Amino acid sequence: MSKIKRIFLVTIVISLAIGGLFFIVRQAKEVHLGTKFQDYYVSKVIDGDTIQLSNNEKVRYIGIDTPEIRKRKGPGWVYEPMPYGLEAKDFNKRLVEGKRVRLEFDVQKRDKYNRLLAYVYVDGKMVNLEMVREGYAMIYTYPPNVKYADMFLEAQREARTKKKGLWAELDKGVISSSEARKYIGHMKIVETKVYNTFISNKLLILNCRDNFKVVVFRKDFSILPKEAIRSPDTYFRHKDIRVYGVIKEYKNSPEIILHNQFQLEILD
């Protein structure tokens, strides 16, 4: 083989190798970004914390919870908006519907309903954070997706101090646990007394006056002091407490589920 042919072949091999290297690097970058950030077009806003993309994927906002618009009844759902549910949806629509958004993923990318879990950005703002800051959502941390938990807490403090959105509902006054049943589906501050507690591998329940309950699921145990989990009866029994949140009903008992440490205050 002549010297010119050898040089020509070597040049081709080197060019192919460099091209392959660039392709691998580019693919690696795309894969990396694909696990963290992606851009999409929002075709529909479902409610205050859920949207649908143009590819039909549904996205649940990480770190927040907004009042529901529908309520499960038997095997299906009925239209029954909670206070500030429609306002939260409308605010979400103004922010993202018909716009291109960027999704940032955390540790867990999908929930049990196969929805994408994401921090959603539009025009440089994080929508999740704006929903909390303007009082249309409460924080709802769910490990392992807790990257911006501190930011959400600060935004909620700000919204509550300024009595924005759903926090204005709390301004209407503290209720006793005997009144809780009248406010199923409403956000309220409830004062009551803890009679005893129950703890299992799945949850902690504070059994209170008037058959009212405060519930903390295992995933949220970290919001309570360690001694409260180690010996809940010693920590809570016979204590007067004030708790805020959406009052729900489970097995004919009104209850509030805790998602962050600021929802519960021990009064004595």
Whether 70 sits among the annotated catalytic residues: the reply is no
78 domain residue, yes or no = yes
Domain extent at residue 251: 173-266
Please give the pLDDT value at position 3.
Answer: 54
Chunked into runs of 10 residues, the chain (268 residues) has average pLDDT values of 54 49 37 58 97 97 90 76 90 97 96 95 96 93 88 93 87 90 90 97 97 95 93 96 92 93 88
Of the residues 87, 115, 134, 160, which is catalytic?
Answer: 115
94 domain residue, yes or no = yes
For residue 72, which amino acid is it?
Answer: R
- Pair (154, 45) in one structural domain: yes
Please give the pLDDT value at position 100.
Answer: 96
Whether 68 sits among the annotated catalytic residues: the reply is yes
Whether 60 sits among the annotated catalytic residues: the reply is yes
d(Cα 161, Cα 103) in Å, to the nearest integer?
29
d(Cα 190, Cα 267) in Å, to the nearest integer?
12
12 domain residue, yes or no = no
**Nearest-5° angle of CA 253, CA 258, CA 264?**
100
d(Cα 141, Cα 133) in Å, to the nearest integer?
15
State if pTM tops 0.85: no
27 domain residue, yes or no = no
- Pair (204, 123) in one structural domain: no
Residues 125-158, buried b or exposed e (16+ Cβ, 10 A)? ebbbbbbbbbbbbbbbbbeebeebbebbbebbee
2 domain residue, yes or no = no
Of the residues 6, 57, 60, 134, which is catalytic?
Answer: 60
Of the residues 6, 26, 30, 68, which is catalytic?
Answer: 68
- Pair (68, 125) in one structural domain: yes
- Pair (157, 41) in one structural domain: yes
- Pair (188, 82) in one structural domain: no
Please give the pLDDT value at position 192.
Answer: 98
Q: Are 153 and 64 in contact (CB under 8 A)?
A: no
Helix (H) or strand (E) holding 103: strand 100-104
- Pair (154, 177) in one structural domain: no
DSSP structural state of residue 219: G
Please give the pLDDT value at position 14.
Answer: 52
Please give the pLDDT value at position 1.
Answer: 57
d(Cα 254, Cα 256) in Å, to the nearest integer?
7
Q: Residues near 91 by Cβ (< 8 Å), separated by ≥ 6?
A: 48, 131, 134, 136
Supply the CATH number for residue 192's domain.
Answer: 2.40.50.140
Structural domain ending residue among the three candidates 161, 181, 211: 161
Please give the pLDDT value at position 262.
Answer: 82
Q: Are 59 and 120 in contact (CB under 8 A)?
A: yes
User: How many domains, in total, are found in the chain?
Assistant: 2
244 domain residue, yes or no = yes
251 domain residue, yes or no = yes
d(Cα 54, Cα 43) in Å, to the nearest integer?
5
- Pair (142, 187) in one structural domain: no
d(Cα 155, Cα 16) in Å, to the nearest integer?
53
Structural domain ending residue among the three candidates 141, 161, 181: 161
